[in-house]
């Protein structure tokens, strides 16, 4: 009896013999790639539904459900928003994402390695390694990391008032701190490799406030498991040139919008231009919305999604 493979091959040979299409056409159709590039997938950061307003802190599951209802492809989880990280909590998050057809694309974490206190750096490194294990358990392939800051600002409002520029503690300079950050992130990258989680260093103040600082750290670690997570709202001057300089290292992009005016500042970002820069640089990953304005998220987040869809159509 003729098996399925023999039947298919026989049918194709008969079609070629009958002149319906040539063997060369069959080969070309099978091997020629399509010329169009799919659009970047768009996620929502759970931060967009909360923004550290403690009285309005929603569950991760709520954010997933809202993101799915609005038409997002994925969700970017802010780790600080998780009430607990016990197995039952993690499993419920995975279940909710699967049921709602939303990818868990990033776990956004916070840590601080800019300190002369070795014990403090070690504690933050252990915390980061634990977060990598959480990302692994959740099936998330990307995790945001930061350098941390000197801590000489009174608070985040004070840091923003000085446009992210912070004075080092007495007796130290930024140059002294780079080896601390490179060493800690290098050890974290080894754990990330074991778990299959790519770390994305964010341009989030501290030593990663400039493209030069970002490159110095990533090149210093020299691991494929440490790349960059580019935040469109964290370069306050000349954002387009700076984003372009770093696109080749990007694993994920966090895109800020400011409807209703920014909580700390407002940037007039040209997203079609940013989309063009990233596409030209070969970026294929997720774009995650971080809504950081005063307008109600119920209206601002859908508007933001429309803007990002238009800018990253491929």
CB–CB of 240/276 below 8 Å? no
297 pLDDT above the threshold of 50: yes
Render the chain in DSSP notation, one character per residue: ---HHHHHHHHHHHHHHTTSS-HHHHHHHHHPPPS--PPPPEEEEGGGGTTT-GGG---HHHHHHHHHHHT-SEEEEEGGG-S---HHHHHHHHHHHHHHT-EEEEEE-------S-HHHHHHHHHHHHHHHHHHHHHT--EEEE-----S-SSSHHHHHHTTT--PPPTT--HHHHHHHHHHHHHHHHHHHHHHT-EEEEE--SGGGSSHHHHHHHHHHH--TTEEEEEETTS--SSHHHHHHHHGGGEEEEEEEE-TTSBSS------HHHHHHHHHHTT--S-EEEEE-BSS-HHHHHHHHHHHHHHHT--
pTM, two decimals, is: 0.87
* pLDDT grade for 7, boundaries at 50, 70 and 90: very low
Q: For the domain with range 41-311, which CATH number is right: 3.20.20.150, 3.30.950.10, 3.40.980.10, 1.10.357.10?
A: 3.20.20.150
Q: What digits encode the pLDDT tens for the residues 216-248?
A: 999 999 999 999 999 999 999 999 999 999 999
* pLDDT grade for 5, boundaries at 50, 70 and 90: very low
Residue ranges, comma separated, of all CATH 3.20.20.150 domains in the chain are 41-311
Q: What digits encode the pLDDT tens for the residues 117-158?
A: 999 999 999 999 999 999 999 999 999 999 999 988 878 777
Share of the chain above pLDDT 90, in %: 76
Q: What digits encode the pLDDT tens for the residues 13-37?
A: 444 444 444 444 444 444 545 556 7
How high does pLDDT run on average in the chain? 89
d(CA 45, CA 51): 10
Give the pLDDT mean for 154-178: 85
pLDDT of 23 reads 45
pLDDT of 174 reads 94
């Amino acid at each position: 009896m003729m098996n399925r493979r023999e039947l298919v091959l026989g049918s194709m040979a008969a079609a070629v013999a009958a002149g319906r299409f040539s063997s060369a056409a069959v080969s070309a159709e099978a091997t020629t790639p399509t010329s169009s590039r799919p659009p970047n997938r768009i996620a929502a950061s759970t931060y967009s539904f909360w923004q550290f307003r403690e009285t309005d802190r929603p569950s991760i599951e709520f954010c997933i459900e809202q993101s799915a209802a609005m038409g997002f492809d994925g969700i970017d989880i802010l780790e600080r928003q998780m009430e607990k990280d016990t197995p039952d909590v993690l499993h419920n998050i995975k279940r909710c994402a699967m049921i709602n057809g939303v990818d868990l694309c990033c776990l956004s974490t916070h840590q601080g390695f800019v300190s002369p206190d070795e014990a403090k750096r070690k504690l933050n490194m252990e915390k980061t390694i634990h977060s990598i294990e959480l990302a692994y358990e959740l099936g998330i392939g990307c995790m945001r990391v930061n350098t941390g800051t000197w801590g000489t600002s009174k608070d985040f409002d004070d840091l923003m008032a000085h446009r992210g520029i912070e004075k080092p503690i007495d007796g130290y300079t930024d140059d002294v701190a780079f080896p601390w950050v490179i060493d800690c992130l290098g050890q974290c990258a080894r754990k990330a490799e074991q778990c299959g989680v790519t770390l994305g260093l964010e341009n989030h103040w501290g030593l990663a406030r400039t493209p030069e600082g970002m490159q110095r750290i990533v090149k210093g670690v020299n691991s494929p498991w440490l790349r960059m997570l580019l935040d469109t709202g964290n370069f306050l001057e000349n954002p387009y040139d700076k984003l372009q300089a770093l696109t080749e290292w990007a694993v994920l992009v966090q895109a800020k919008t400011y409807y209703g005016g920014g909580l700390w500042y407002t940037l007039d970002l040209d997203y079609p231009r940013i989309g063009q820069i990233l596409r030209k640089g070969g970026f294929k990953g997720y774009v995650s919305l971080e809504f950081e304005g005063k307008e109600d998220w119920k209206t601002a987040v859908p508007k933001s999604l429309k803007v990002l869809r238009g800018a990253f159509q491929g």
